Amino acid sequence: SYELTQPPSVSVSPGQTARITCSGDALPKKYAYWYQQKSGQAPALVIYEGSKRPSGIPDRFSGSTSGTVATLTISGAQVEDEGDFYCYSADSSGNHWVFGGGTKLTVL
């Protein structure tokens, strides 16, 4: 079955740039989506169709894809950005979807 691979954790100091990667064989043809889940809350979409930001998401969040790797970049990370981040995409058939294993972002 299809898999997306993320690093388990990323840690940065406030104001630094955090980069979270997501590797998957179908990413050259399928968009990546990114979600943030803070403790005790439902997940929230932060990037869709690889690089687009929903309304209300700060512009320090950006997304990109190069080959089989999608990257979520948080430029000037803030303490309130801490949480678990997940990439999400479809397999080559487009009918089955999968999340990456999740990356815990620590900002301190």
Map 27-89 to HEC letters: CCCCCCEEEEECCCCCCEEEEECCCECCCCCCCCEEEEEECCEEEEEECCCCHHHCEEEEEEE
Task: Output the smallest distance, CB 52 to another protein, in A.
Answer: 11
Pick 14 or 54: Cβ nearer another protein: 54
Looking at the Cβ atoms of 29 and 96, the one nearer to another protein is: 96
Write out the residues near another protein by the rule CB under 8 A.
1, 33, 35, 37, 42-45, 48-49, 54, 84, 86, 88, 90, 95-102
For the bound state, the minimum distance from the C-beta of residue 69 to another protein, rounded and expressed in Å, comes to 19
Question: How far, rounded to the nearest angstrom, does the alpha carbon of residue 50 sit from its chain's CA centroid?
Answer: 9
